Amino acid sequence: MSTPGSPNRRILVVDDNRTIHQDFRKILSPPVANDSLDAMEADLFGHAEAATQLPGFEVDSAFQGEEALLMARAARQQGKPYALAFIDIRMPPGIDGVETTSRIWKDDPDIQVVICSAYADYSWEEMMLRLGLSQRLLILRKPFDGIEVRQLAFALTEKWELLRTNRLHLEDLTRAVEERTHQLTLANARLVQSQRLEALGRLSAGLAHEINNPLSFILANLGYLRTQLEASSLTPNDMQELREVCAESYEGAERIRRIIQNIKLFSRLDEAPRTRVNVHEVLEHALGEVRSLLASDVQLVRDFKNVPPVFASENGLQQVFFGLLANAAQALKEASSAPSLRVATGLQEDGRVVIEVQDNGKGIAPEHLGRVFEPFFTTKRMGSSTGLGLSVCYGIVLGLGGDITVDSAPGKGATFRVLLPQAPADLATPSPAPV
């Protein structure tokens, strides 16, 4: 296809009369100017300037409508479509010009058409009934004038070029609008999620306080009861039953305590001071804490690149990395192959530090992938998860001005990716707290 600055001058002439094709070539493809002869003519006859030649056209011939259809189709498939076709109205024994035009437009709706006729085979109204009202169609009566043909050729090929340029521009605008709409949709989803977390944080501040006091009392009583049972003179069967009841109650109370701890984090996400934090040091500390959750056959891979400090809360990042690593450890229990955990760091082109936690566990179903960061959403069995771990990670990362995403598919594992801003260069590194 022609490129900007290189107009499409391809023209298809469709006529069963070979003489007509010769006439079109004389009109649309005049002989190439000879510069040396023009200069000699100027010297001999005193012309100030040699004659200027108008640009010619690339003219192809088809002698029947079916042949024209094949040529137009092939030209478009090759990326070199015809801009204009001069089509005779009568071409026995094949299809006529109106039918030829109709079929060509089905394959190439952009081509401009001039119907050439020496007879009144069709009225304009009849043509419009068969072809529809179209700005791509003109009628030229035979015998035609060379200047008229050349004017039509220039005007209609220029029109084809302008229409193509406008269409490409419109396609670019459509793509830009679609991309912007996609970005706004993602931004809106993140805003909604942030608002939900903010609302939960406001609720949690009072809720955690109200639950924590009676829960502490329950845990203390259960602990005392367990101690007394060990010294009791009850029968072994009674003792075993009471131990089981006590253990179940204690486990339930502990789960409530973990929920409260996570809820408290929501109400304190914006309170932690931010400093220059070494990502690798925090990751190593989190790996040490989660090691007991990893099976002995898990292959741990560290892929650490040289990255600058991030601007964050060290305790907040510790919670994020531990939450992601603990989630991966849980997923690896159902790995279909040799379990592996990859922890990687790097630097994006936009300057943000990227931290990846990748496992080859069971993966996440498509219908659950968009909800993994929702508060209290979990696919684990009842009682094994609070449903707040990943939500806490999401809230902390967004509160630090970063981003967190997940890629996963069933049986393909999951990759959680955290993006964090670099610490300002003029921000001092905090001194270690005194021991």
Tens digit of each residue's pLDDT (9 = 90 or more) over 67-76: 999 999 999 9
Is it the case that residue 345 has pLDDT exceeding 90?
yes
Residue 336 pLDDT grade (very low, low, confident, very high; cuts 50, 70, 90): confident
Which of 50-64, 202-216, 315-329 is predicted least confidently? 202-216
314-332 vs 279-290: helix axis angle to the nearest 10?
A: 40
Tens digit of each residue's pLDDT (9 = 90 or more) over 162-189: 988 888 888 889 898 888 888 887 777 7
- Other CB atoms within 10 Å distance of the CB of residue 427: 13
pTM: 0.46
Preceding amide of 432 cis, omega within 30: no
Is it the case that residue 195 has pLDDT exceeding 80?
no
Mean pLDDT, range 337-341, rounded to an integer: 89
Per DSSP, what are the bridge partners of residue 417? 356, 405
* Residue 278 to residue 423: CA distance in whole angstroms: 10
Task: Determine contact, residues 419/352, Cβ cutoff 8 Å.
Answer: yes
The H helix count followed by the E strand count for the chain is 11, 12
Task: Determine contact, residues 57/153, Cβ cutoff 8 Å.
Answer: yes
* Residue 343 to residue 381: CA distance in whole angstroms: 26
Mean pLDDT, range 391-411, rounded to an integer: 87
Rounded to the nearest integer, the mean pLDDT of the chain is 80
Q: What is the pLDDT of residue 296?
A: 85
Domains and CATH numbers, the chain: 10-144 (3.40.50.2300), 272-430 (3.30.565.10)
The pairing of strands 403-408 and 414-420 is: antiparallel
Q: What is the pLDDT of residue 51?
A: 41
Q: What is the pLDDT of residue 259?
A: 66
Residue 246 pLDDT grade (very low, low, confident, very high; cuts 50, 70, 90): confident
User: Alpha-carbon Rg of the chain, whole angstroms?
Assistant: 39
What DSSP assignment string belongs to 93-157? Answer: TS--HHHHHHHHHHH-TT-EEEEEESS-SS-HHHHHHHH-S-TTEEEEESSPPHHHHHHHHHHHH
Mean pLDDT, range 413-426, rounded to an integer: 90
Residue 62: closest CA among 106, 110, 94: 94
Is it the case that residue 53 has pLDDT exceeding 60?
no
More confident residue, 194 or 28: 28
The pairing of strands 353-359 and 414-420 is: antiparallel
